[in-house]
């Protein structure tokens, strides 16, 4: 934000009486001014653009949408460069990962008092409120829009052909058994795909491994002292699950060792019914298989069902893994905090959140979004995922998570190459040791029994 020069300041002072008269004392209303909103990805931009006319008409404000890069990392890089250079945007979306850093660096506005005085706050799900308060250490610096949930997707038609029940599997063994039965007794050549290997990058950790880890005997990756777990019974259990999936040839293993490993299983085999099950996020309803997605599936609502993640031995309730971490925040250096907050309220209104959730295949952060935006409520898949919010679990961001991602990718590649679960765990442990070679107190090895 550029500092106002003296002449502009005097002009504002001279015009202030006229400005106040024009407002006519309208309670809670804003009038005039300009606000910039930073957003990326075409679908998200279109969702914001759809409500801009309403904001401009009701607040008398001029809105400028600054379009960021489509790729997540590039989007965040541009955002951080602008904020740290003092040329930020009044309102912007974060990725949920950088929020603690933005708060610690005083780059986002504290809106606690305004939010708690606003009747919209009570409409946010408890998990949305908790996440907002956790990021700010009890204060509020942003509000979530639409979260995401990752679950196990399956082809109903293939299960029916194989005579396999759609009932929720309660254990990992039951899940593998269902996958084997479908593979052996239907038109599907493969039963269950779990992202694995170095070439997939963060996919093995982000779209399978950490989700199953939450249902293991050691359901955490950071202990209560803040140490990253380099060895545990739970880690070994997950590697054993993956070993079983590989040993049973439940997916096209060669695809994991090829460039763009996700393309064949996700964009060819699952839509064609060659693959019966996969781990997938709510975004798949839109970006992967929805209209305009990578491989549209016109009959997706009839053909695809979802399961929550079972626990290793069935001792806990199945769950979905996800977060409500995509937040809108206000730049701490905005020229007009009051006006920015008025616009902010529109962006996190029930209607706007419902629209955004539908556009990106997300779970609305507000319980009243389904009433405010009927098109969102008409999507049975998203409604099913939202109704599971009380089972949603997540690992909050932690230091050295990138090292864990790399270690999991490398260890699961060992499994692809024929190594055992125990050998995969050893590879993982050694990589975590290396990552903490200068600060070994930041990691811990837990018993395997």
Stretch 124-139: mean pLDDT: 90
Bridge partners of 90? none
Lookup result for tokens 């995509």: 326
Lookup result for tokens 């504002």: 12
Whether the domain at 32-144+323-387 and the domain at 149-320+396-445 fall into the same CATH topology: yes
User: Given 3.50.50.60, 3.10.180.10, 3.40.190.10, 3.40.50.170, which CATH number is that of 32-144+323-387?
Assistant: 3.40.190.10
Stretch 155-161: mean pLDDT: 98
Helix runs in 305-400, H state only: 337-347, 350-360, 369-372, 374-377, 380-387
CA dihedral 405, 409, 415, 416 (to 10 degrees): 160
pLDDT in tens, 43-69: 899 999 999 999 999 999 999 999 999
Q: What is the pTM of this model?
A: 0.82
pLDDT of residue 24: 31
Stretch 142-153: mean pLDDT: 93
Cβ neighbours around 232 below 10 Å, total? 24
Please report, rounded to a whole number, the percentage of residues in the chain having pLDDT higher than 70: 93
pLDDT of residue 31: 52
pLDDT in tens, 190-242: 999 999 999 999 999 999 999 999 999 999 999 999 999 999 999 999 999 99
Question: Does 444 score more than 50 pLDDT?
Answer: yes
149-320+396-445 — its CATH code? 3.40.190.10
301, 157 Cβ separation under 8 angstroms: no
pLDDT in tens, 28-37: 344 579 999 9
Question: Domain spans of the chain?
Answer: 32-144+323-387, 149-320+396-445
pLDDT of residue 9: 33
Question: Does 2 score more than 70 pLDDT?
Answer: no
């Amino acid at each position: 934000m550029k500092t106002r020069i003296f002449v502009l300041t005097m002009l504002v002072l001279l015009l202030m009486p006229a400005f106040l008269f024009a407002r006519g004392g309208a309670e809670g209303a804003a009038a005039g001014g300009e606000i910039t909103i930073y957003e990326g990805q075409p679908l998200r931009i279109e969702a914001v653009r759809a409500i801009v006319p309403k904001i401009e008409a009701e607040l008398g404000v001029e809105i400028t949408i600054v379009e960021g890069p489509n790729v997540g990392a590039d989007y965040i890089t541009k955002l951080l460069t602008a904020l740290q250079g003092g040329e930020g945007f009044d309102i912007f979306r974060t990725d949920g990962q950088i929020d603690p850093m933005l708060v610690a660096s005083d780059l986002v506005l504290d809106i606690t008092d305004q939010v708690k005085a606003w009747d919209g706050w009570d409409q946010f799900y408890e998990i949305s409120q908790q996440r907002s308060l956790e990021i700010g250490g009890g204060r509020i610096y942003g509000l979530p829009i639409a979260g995401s949930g990752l679950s196990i997707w399956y082809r109903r038609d293939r299960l029916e052909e194989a005579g396999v029940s759609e009932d929720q599997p309660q254990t990992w063994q039951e899940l593998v058994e269902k996958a084997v039965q479908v593979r052996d007794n239907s038109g599907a050549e493969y039963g269950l795909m779990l992202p694995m290997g170095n070439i997939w990058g963060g996919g093995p950790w982000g779209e399978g491994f950490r989700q199953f880890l939450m249902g293991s005997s050691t359901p955490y990756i950071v202990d209560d002292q803040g140490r990253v777990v380099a060895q545990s019974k739970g880690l070994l259990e997950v590697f054993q699950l993956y070993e079983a999936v590989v040993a049973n040839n439940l997916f096209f293993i060669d695809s994991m060792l090829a460039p763009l490993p996700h393309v064949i299983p996700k964009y060819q085999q699952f839509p064609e019914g060659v693959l019966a099950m996969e781990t997938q996020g709510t975004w798949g309803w839109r970006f992967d298989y929805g209209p305009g997605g990578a491989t549209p599936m016109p009959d997706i609502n009839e053909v695809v069902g979802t399961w929550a993640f079972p626990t290793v031995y069935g001792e806990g309730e199945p769950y979905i893994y996800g977060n409500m971490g995509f937040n809108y925040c206000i730049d701490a250096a905005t020229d007009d905090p009051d006006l920015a907050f008025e616009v902010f309220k529109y962006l996190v209104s029930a209607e706007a959140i419902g629209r955004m959730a539908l556009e990106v295949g997300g779970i609305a952060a507000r319980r009243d979004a389904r009433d405010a935006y009927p098109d969102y409520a008409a999507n049975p898949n998203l409604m099913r995922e939202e109704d599971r919010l009380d089972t949603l679990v997540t690992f909050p961001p932690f230091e050295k998570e990138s090292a864990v991602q790399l270690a999991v990718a490398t260890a699961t590649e060992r499994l692809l190459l024929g190594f055992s679960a125990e050998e995969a765990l050893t590879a993982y442990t050694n990589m975590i040791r290396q990552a903490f070679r200068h600060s070994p107190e930041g990691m811990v090895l837990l018993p395997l029994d």
